[in-house]
Amino acid sequence: MLSNIFKSCYCRLVFIFAAIYYCNMNEDLRNLDLKEVKLSIQKAIVECSRRGLLHGTKWLAELNFSLKDVVIDSSEIPLSNIISSDLDNDIYLKAKCYFDLKEYDRCAYHTEKNENGYCKFLHLYSRYLSVERKKIDNLTDLNYGTDPQLNSQLQSLYSELRSSHLAGRLDGFCLYLYGMVLKRLDLHTAAIQVLVEAVHKEPLHWSAWVELATLITDRAKLTSLTLPDHWIKQFFIAHTYLEQQLNEEALEIYNDIQNQGFASSTYLLAQAAIAYHNKREVTAAITTFQHLRKLDPYRLDNLDTLSNLLYVKEMKVELAYLAHHASEIDKYKVETCCIIGNYYSLRGEHHKAVLYFERALRLNPLYLSAWTLMGHEFMEMKNTNAAIQSYRQAIEVNRRDYRAWYGLGQTYEILKMPFYCLYYYKQAQVLRPNDSRMLIALGETYEKLEKIQEALKCYYKARSVGDIEGTALLKLAKLYDKVTEVEQAATAYTEYVKENDDIPTADNKQELCYAYKYLANYHLKRNQLDLAYQYAEKCLGYEETKEEGKALLRTIASKRGQDDGEMQVEDSGGHPNPPHRIRPDLNQVTPVNLTFTPPDGS
């Protein structure tokens, strides 16, 4: 009892702090000076570009373009000299060329003894990228684990960065690199501390924020961070919310950012489309992506998500056009391979789909979508072992990918291993607490393990959070019937037929006729003949229950005859016989008031 009270108070405190935090963020947005913002972005572009931080530079450049209508003084634009001395400048220019050509070992060698800030970063960053590239080469070419020599190189880099950090010699960019090394070594707590320090020193280095977001597992941890008082913090909060499936909160922040001068940002538009995708608002997500493609027709970023949406809607023509368009832009980009893989999957050519997902993974073994989608394809091909391996690799890339956890649960369900299912479905449900599909899967697993109360709680919660597939009520009814809680079963069946009576489909036809039969028998036993008649007559519309419906109607007629006879005996003192009962108006039958109570602890 006390623990529940403590948890409740803790959750409320977290919510209050989050609300205060969000109000402060809105205040920061309202006070933006767009000229200063644009000037700081352009300075950061130069700094990131000089260090070869391409993704950070690209993000800033696109954000800068969204402020194209903001005019700043040309004399303030940061186009200053590169570095202090001519010798350092010569070394830097040569090393930067090697870096741009991905000759990382060569770049590291030529910058080894140079203490200039740019050259030092290129030296450390080249060593890190060299290790990462060799790891990827080993995975794709030799298909074995990490080379011990590469681990020793990473440890050596870690030792050097740690010593420099303790001596206070790392700038914001080197702190970002140190944080990434700590993360690769699974020292997550230390990585969070270092990355927070990095964003304090270089708040406009977006890659540092993204790395930090991958280490934030929940809202409580997010609110506990001491972040810089800078406008970019709002972008980070929204990005983290999106990663944690807090889609409504993310959309609200993105809308606020757009209203403060970034309305034409393609990044914000793409993030909004992803939020709609996560919320399963498929039409809104597709519309947003289509608008994004009109603004930037050669953009491939996030189009793999659009292909997933077109796949779900079974829009074959649109998906074929998207695949052709992406292939014309860059056939060897991971997003293109993913789009084409989805196209072949929709056509039922699962072997070809797997080939394209494998191609995407040869280009980037850390590409999450390809691992997950390849697992789905192997499931379609009944290759459970390969599906398990794919889903496990997806979890290695990102432990917050609920689709991989859910896929593993489905795979072990096929293998009839319910205890394994329970573990994986629980992980998926933690990541998507308000997704009824996860709750239904969890409930079914509990039911197989004869944990009835837990199963009932899952079905009831699935119903309360918005039953996506419309099966929670039916499963509740069947399970209540199984444990002979007749009143609850009848209530659930009544709710089910109310929601599905007007729209019978091939999928729910059999379930509806069974529900009518159950309710007819239930009300007949309680001598509620009007309701029993209503449901028995409904049974006549289905071949499966037609004969049973006739039998029920005969029984009801017999009971009514007995009742009429009793009434005639009572009225024999000269009164005329009452008229024969006519068929009740089904729209005017008063239903019995049944109370649908949740299971204990829900």
* Torsion sign, CA atoms 226, 229, 234, 239: negative
pLDDT, average across residues 99-108: 93
Residue 119 has pLDDT above 60, yes or no: yes
**pLDDT 10s digits, 558-572:** 887 776 555 444 444
Q: State pLDDT tens for residues 446-466.
A: 999 999 999 999 999 998 888
Buried b / exposed e over 227-250, threshold 16 CB at 10 Å, is beeebbbbbbbbbbbbbbbbbebb
Q: How many CA atoms lie within 13 A of 131 on its CB side?
A: 22
Distance CA(384)–CA(412), nearest Å, equals 8
Give the up-direction half-sphere exposure of residue 509: CA atoms within 13 A in the CB hemisphere: 9
In this structure, which amino acid lies at residue 562? Q
Amino acid at 253: I
* 531-550 pLDDT per residue, tens: 889 888 888 888 888 888 89
Mean pLDDT, all residues of the chain = 84
- How many CA atoms does the CB half-sphere of 188 hold within 13 Å? 7
Task: Give residues with Cβ within 8 angstroms of 248, minimum separation 6.
Answer: 279
Smallest CA-to-CA distance from 207 within 172, 256, 251 is with: 172
pLDDT for the residue numbered 75: 66
Nearest residue to 407 (alpha-carbon basis) of 363, 139, 386:
386
pLDDT digits (tens, 9 = 90+) for 188-234: 999 999 999 999 999 999 999 999 999 998 888 999 999 999 999 99
In this structure, what are the phi and psi dihedrals at residue 548, rounded to the nearest 5 degrees? -65, -35
Place of tokens 């003084």: 73
0.75 surpassed by pTM: yes
